């Protein structure tokens, strides 16, 4: 995509027709900075050790009583708050944000050796990846390379994918979730940095196998595909966070859209662009997509329209569409327009009131409705992809 530093975000939001609080009308990033400052202060003052002795390092959401929920470095969400701080530094170039980002990023260093998780991209690329992109710190580079080395230990050549979860071994033999597409960006980066094509080949294999087995004829995605690790054959297709095995979990569709758009950007292989466009069509034209383009937590949830929304899915979709608009030959204007509409909706109707929600930016996200976990509350990854979308909208156009 051609990169044009084109106008300030104020102008973008004005062009979008966004209504913003009078206090921030001259600079939307003033609101974001103020909220992040509050979130950082609350995180600094939060309890930092669990009863089991595990250190808590990063804010994730709110607890049942409205308290700030902090997580250890091993949590899949631990990299998003450092990522938000890096994005704030990218937008402002103020040293205070760089210092904060460095502080919270540094607390994740142990995860470069954590081979018990597939979430290296979420944790390490959102934190150290943004940090290295903006500072070229050689220590960050080394940690990212080690993180990629650790991640590929989860690759099974018989299956052709990276294993996702290690839990529920009585239920799944070799589970692969659609979310795992998001972790491939770290592997593409590692090949560019090291010249070792191993990472690239594994990422492509995972994406191709996911196209083959994760999608229905309408290009909606199952959440979990379980494989036989000895033969590579598909054992079952299910959901874990969606309404039903046959339903379309909204954030899963968002991960798929973002993931295949990213894979096309890294490979320029047309099959991945076509897949991304098919997924975009499914999302944008679904009969249960609300008019504001902020989806219900599952497109097939039984009580629509009386179901929780998922602002995090909307933020991921917006960011993906902005990227995809630069690659599509026939739908660029559509994708750009839909992304702007989503951001307008999030800004007008889903953003926390200034000073509220401990400093989180967006409200009304849904983590896992079937488990009654993090329903209709702020989630840090919603904030991350919202910020990323705003920066992409301001900085990247054809």
Q: Are 105 and 82 in contact (CB under 8 A)?
A: yes
Q: Are 357 and 378 in contact (CB under 8 A)?
A: yes
CA–CA separation, 206 and 163 (whole Å) = 10
**How crowded is the C-beta side of 47, counted as CA atoms within 13 Å?**
9
Question: Known binder of ligand: residue 231?
Answer: no
Question: Known binder of ligand: residue 166?
Answer: no
Active-site residue, 179 included = yes
Q: Are 270 and 211 in contact (CB under 8 A)?
A: no
Question: Known binder of ligand: residue 368?
Answer: yes
Tokens of 231: 């033969």
Would you give the distance in Å from CA 324 to the centre of its chain? 15
Token pair 């597409």 is at which residue?
Answer: 181
Cα–Cα nearest to 10, from 29, 36, 31: 29
Question: Known binder of ligand: residue 179?
Answer: yes
Options 44, 64, 75, 119, the catalytic residue: 119
Three-state secondary-structure class, residue 52: coil
CA–CA separation, 130 and 391 (whole Å) = 13
Tokens of 119: 């979430």
> Helix and strand tally (H, E) in the chain?
14, 9
Question: Known binder of ligand: residue 255?
Answer: yes
**Burial annotation 39-77 (CB, 10 A radius, 16+ → b, else e):** bbebbeeeeeeeeeeeebbbbbbbeeeeebbbbbbbbbb
Options 179, 298, 300, 363, the catalytic residue: 179
Question: Known binder of ligand: residue 86?
Answer: no
Give the helix ranges, DSSP H, for 17-165.
28-45, 80-92, 95-106, 120, 130-135, 138-151
CA–CA separation, 21 and 288 (whole Å) = 30
Q: Please, is 259 exposed, middle or buried when counting C-beta atoms within 10 Å of its C-beta (0-12, 13-18, 19+)?
A: buried
Could you tell me which residues come within 8 angstroms of residue 190 by beta carbon, excluding any fewer than 6 positions away?
A: 144, 145, 148, 149, 196, 199
Q: Please, is 232 exposed, middle or buried when counting C-beta atoms within 10 Å of its C-beta (0-12, 13-18, 19+)?
A: middle
Annotated catalytic residues are 119, 179
Binding residues: 119, 179, 239, 251, 255, 368
Binding residues for substrate: 119, 179, 239, 251, 255, 368
């Amino acid at each position: 995509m051609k990169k044009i530093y084109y106008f300030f975000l104020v102008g973008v939001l004005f062009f979008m027709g966004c209504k913003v609080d009078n206090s921030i009308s001259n600079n939307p990033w003033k609101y974001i900075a103020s909220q992040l400052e509050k979130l950082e202060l609350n995180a600094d003052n939060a309890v930092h050790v669990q009863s089991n002795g595990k250190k808590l390092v990063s804010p994730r959401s709110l607890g049942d009583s409205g308290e700030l929920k902090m997580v250890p470095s091993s949590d899949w969400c631990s990299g998003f708050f450092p990522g938000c701080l890096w994005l704030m530094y990218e937008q402002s170039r103020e040293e205070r944000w760089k210092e904060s980002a460095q502080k919270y990023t540094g607390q994740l260093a142990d995860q470069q050796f954590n081979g018990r998780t597939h979430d290296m991209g979420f944790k390490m690329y959102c934190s150290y990846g943004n940090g290295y992109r903006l500072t070229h710190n050689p220590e960050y580079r080394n940690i990212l390379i080690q993180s990629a080395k650790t991640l590929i230990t989860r690759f099974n050549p018989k299956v052709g994918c990276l294993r996702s979860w290690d839990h529920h071994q009585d239920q799944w033999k070799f589970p692969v979730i659609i979310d795992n597409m998001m972790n491939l960006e770290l592997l593409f980066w590692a090949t560019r940095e090291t010249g070792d094509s191993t990472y690239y080949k594994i990422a492509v294999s995972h994406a191709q196998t996911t196209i083959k087995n994760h999608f229905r004829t309408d290009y909606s995605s199952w959440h979990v595909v379980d494989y036989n690790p000895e033969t590579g054959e598909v054992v079952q297709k299910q959901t874990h966070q969606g309404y039903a095995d046959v339903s379309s979990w909204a954030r899963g569709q968002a991960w798929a859209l973002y993931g295949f758009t990213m894979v096309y950007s890294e490979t320029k292989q047309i099959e991945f662009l076509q897949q991304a466009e098919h997924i975009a069509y499914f999302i944008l034209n679904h009969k249960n997509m609300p008019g504001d383009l902020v989806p219900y937590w599952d497109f097939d949830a039984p009580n629509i329209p009386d179901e929780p929304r998922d602002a995090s899915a909307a933020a991921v979709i917006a960011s993906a569409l902005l990227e995809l608009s630069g690659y599509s030959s026939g739908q660029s204007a559509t994708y750009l327009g839909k992304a702007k509409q989503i951001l307008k909706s999030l800004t007008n109707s889903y953003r926390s009131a200034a000073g509220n929600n401990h400093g989180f930016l967006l409200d009304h996200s849904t983590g896992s409705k079937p488990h009654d976990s993090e329903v209709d509350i702020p989630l840090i990854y919603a904030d991350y992809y919202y910020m990323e979308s705003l920066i992409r909208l301001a900085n990247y156009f054809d």
